[in-house]
Amino acid sequence: MIIKERINTEELLKFLQELLAIESVARRDQEKPFGTGVAQALDYTLSLCQRMGFHTKNADGLYGYAEIGEGAEIIGCLGHLDVVPAGDGWHYPPYAGTIDGGRLYGRGTIDDKGPTLIALFAAHDVAQAYERAGKPMPRRIRFIFGQTEESGPWDDMAAYVAHEEPVRFGFTPDADFPAIYCEKGILRLHLTMPLTDSGILDAKGGTVVNMVPDACTVTTAAGTYQAAGKCAHGSTPWRGENAIDRAMEQLPAESGPFAAAYRALFGSDVYGKKLGIAMTSPDSGPLSMNVGLLRVEDGLIRLSVDIRHPETAAADHIAETVRRAVEPYGFTLAPIHPEKSVYQDKNGPVMQSLLAAYRQETGDLSAPLAIGGGTYAKAMENIIAFGSVFPGEESREHQADEYIALDNIERLRRIYAQAFQNLLAL
């Protein structure tokens, strides 16, 4: 049965809770392209979209989309159904969608299942309004559902761009309000050192490179050392407490080359000063650095570092500076695969249409922002990161007890509905 009537908040919450219950951490070692969890989340979402009257496509699990409306041009809404691992420290089950104290808790509530689903219902509202008025929608609204946003590389978005119609313009509901005009470039570096004579017997820290690790265990000939930290998003490492840093601080001074190199090059430095890559720009601010993963694999000790650099900097120059800094300590730097920065026109029609929708609902006339986070605005042209976190409100993305405030759900729905209406009118 196709859902014709407006979906109320209670029903929206039920659908969101069902989606949150799916542990959709992307994995590439399973029968599905990005793992069974994200495949299940995609199947669930596309099935819901079909019930709402959207036309859907699942491209053999590589990507999926749902669209509604008519017209030659496409307004894109890019959300992602994958999530980062839950990590430790939760007071609520991370995959249960628990409601308590005016909040809905669960991994993905704010990053990015919640905002994506809310925007989906907003588009449904807009389509119904056109139908009631007896008018065709002048453009199609297409939701493109990502599955590897958190872990990368973005093979799903690359496959979509290669095989599907381009979007004319649109947004991703995966950042902050009022809107984002600038995103730093992202450079993820993987450094290795032979385990033999490193002074390390075994090591494990972190779960994904774009999270501040909350646990680390390192074993040397002198014993095993464990450290706890505090998760935070990799783009804001100063908000967390890095467990790899803490573990390395525990090791005795004579623990060998790896520990000495780590302390000299990385320890307790989130701005790249020790590597000689500290820099800043007037728009996006200082470069940031997060040591996110530590592993022993195939006779090597492997360190993965997430760098968010100003839009004015060249990724290959940063990588070369790092290579020159680390090679004397015995590290080898793997080939780099950078993600470009984003710089949008603050006064352009798409930006102004989105800002108008936000300002109509909130009365807030704040200017667009620059961020260190990376969104799907990097994946396609003319995509702007738009919400869903309101100014001054806590965001627990990539942290324990991630939540969305229940009072914000209909508020977001109205903003996104007005945004679609404004973009349809351009």
Active-site residue numbers?
82, 149
What is the C-alpha separation between 346 and 199, in angstroms, rounded?
A: 52
What is the C-alpha separation between 370 and 183, in angstroms, rounded?
A: 6
For the packed helices 113-133 and 407-425, what is the interaxial angle rounded to 10 degrees?
50
Q: Does residue 174 contact residue 112 with C-beta atoms inside 8 Å?
A: yes
Sign, Cα dihedral of 270, 174, 22, 148: negative
Q: Does residue 125 contact residue 409 with C-beta atoms inside 8 Å?
A: no
Radius of gyration of the chain (CA): 22
Q: Does residue 215 contact residue 231 with C-beta atoms inside 8 Å?
A: no
Q: Does residue 409 contact residue 196 with C-beta atoms inside 8 Å?
A: no
Q: Determine phi and psi for 103, rounding to 5 degrees.
A: -130, 150
Cis amide linkage into residue 112, ω under 30° from 0: yes
